[in-house]
Amino acid sequence: MANMKEIKNVLVTGGAGYIGSHTCVELLNAGYEVVVIDNFSNSKHTSIVRIQEITGENISLVEGDLRNKNDITSVFNQYKIDAVIHFAGFKSVGESVSIPIGYYQNNIAGTLNLLEAMNNAKVKNIVFSSSATVYGQAKTQPIKEDFSLSATNPYGRSKLIIEEMLQDIYKSDSDWNISILRYFNPVGAHKSGMIGEDPNGVPNNLMPYISQVAVGKLEHLNVFGDDYPTKDGTGVRDYIHVVDLAKGHISALAKLYEKPGVIIHNLGTGKGYSVLEIVSAFEKTLGEKINYKIVERRDGDIATCYADSTRAEKELGWKAEEDLDKMCIDTWKWQLMNKDGYTS
């Protein structure tokens, strides 16, 4: 049974990725020892090097895949681990619709292997990276944690199934402490400009898409649908600065010291911005126009989605601090310093 003194060594799955890398920075700054396992399918080694440069601290890196039981078992044999923050997973809604088997194989089977290895090693503290997609088409906004859950695509369904798996594990063994964090839309980058979002191919997410148009890598932004029942017809989302999000994981990890069982929190700002509002905020940062085209809606997209995060504020003492301007400024700094992402 881990008590407060004993959570020091944290395994971060997918720690080289966008949210993982920013969380590693916050963990190291907070004095934790960090081990990362990553298969680099959607991330680069450079991010690990830069996390160490930003913090002046070392990370133990294991190149491995959660789908391979030996890879994950050997991490627990090799390192002392007190808790796990689990990011590793495919994360594109559109891609999940076209390759559902790959999503279930990677996200669900990989998580099962991780949980089995944790159980065998008697490591029973986990913070899980879930998503607001588990709310499906929420009937009202803002979204609270006790809303009914459903999924409109395989990506969301994989997150929902993992949430249910975690609940089942706790029912069978109350020694587990499980924090489920449902993210809204992470954007921005570290203020140093050294780590940020570096998607493979054409970005699925709005901010990197806009910034690649701004830097001249892409010709124009596709805006998927302008006939939603929103203020300007474009989809409304809750955008949260990735550093705020990363800090939410540190707060959740600290909460596990109190042996809370299963806890579930939304991490968002509580404000919804439309696609066109984001475009105009970015134009303000740039001082120039962004080319965009209105195209067909995407399958599985919903009109409006923003968080009620009061539970996280009350129970974790966490609150998003950064505003939309800061999100745009930090995204743009990262893009300018890394025109081709980490391969620049």
Residues 202-230 have pLDDT tens digits of 898 999 999 999 999 999 999 999 999 99
Q: Does 1 score more than 60 pLDDT?
A: no
Q: What torsion do the CA atoms of 338, 342, 343, 344 make, to the nearest 10 degrees? A: 20
- Assess contact for 80 and 56: CB atoms under 8 A: no
* Token reading at 87: 């990011």
- Assess contact for 109 and 161: CB atoms under 8 A: no
Q: How far apart are CA 342 and CA 326, in angstroms?
A: 22
Q: Does 310 score more than 60 pLDDT?
A: yes
Q: What is the pLDDT of residue 86?
A: 98
Q: Does 3 score more than 50 pLDDT?
A: no
Closest C-alpha to 190, from 269, 244, 243: 243
Q: What is the pLDDT of residue 321?
A: 98
Residues noted as catalytic: 155
- Assess contact for 245 and 22: CB atoms under 8 A: yes
For range 184-192, the mean pLDDT: 98
- Alpha-carbon torsion (183, 6, 314, 30), positive or negative: negative
Structural domains present in the chain: 9-187+239-269+309-321 (3.40.50.720)
